Amino acid sequence: MATAEHKSTRGIWIVFTILLVVTVSEVFLALWWPGSWPALVLNFIFIIMTFTKAFYIISEFMHLKYEVKNLIVSLIVPMTLFIWFIIAFLADGNSWLIYRLSVN
């Protein structure tokens, strides 16, 4: 029968392997396929891979997976709003740039 220490060590190695595979995939995409796919597709893939790595790091190494649901929600909701905040300001800045370039 496996002890609790063995299970936690096994979980860490599983997360490490997932992070390693995702990181190697990111490096492979960045170095060997920069011109074969449109930049928007590659950026979307990189963002998804980055969120995947952040999820595993936060859940396993910051022990958020073991916390109560209210704490998790109190962290996820502001983070989601902050991401929306960044996207909104980038869109606003881009529209301002397009407007300024069209005026000149």
Find the angle CA(53)-CA(57)-CA(62) to the nearest 5 degrees: 160
Same domain, 54 and 74: no
Residues in the chain: 104
User: What is the tally of structural domains in the chain?
Assistant: 2
Same domain, 58 and 85: no
Same domain, 11 and 55: yes
Give 89's pLDDT tier (boundaries 50, 70, 90). Answer: very high
Give the model's pLDDT for residue 101.
Answer: 87
DSSP letter at 34 equals T
- CB contact at 8 A, 56 and 19: yes
Domain that holds residue 87: 68-104
Q: Does 1 have pLDDT greater than 60?
A: no
Same domain, 50 and 81: no
Same domain, 102 and 78: yes
Residues 6+ apart with CB under 8 A from 22: 49, 52, 53
Same domain, 50 and 40: yes
- CB contact at 8 A, 26 and 49: yes
Q: Residues 69, 71, 76, 81: is their CA dihedral positive or negative?
A: positive
Q: Does 36 have pLDDT greater than 70?
A: no
Stretch 12-31: mean pLDDT: 92
Give the model's pLDDT for residue 19.
Answer: 94
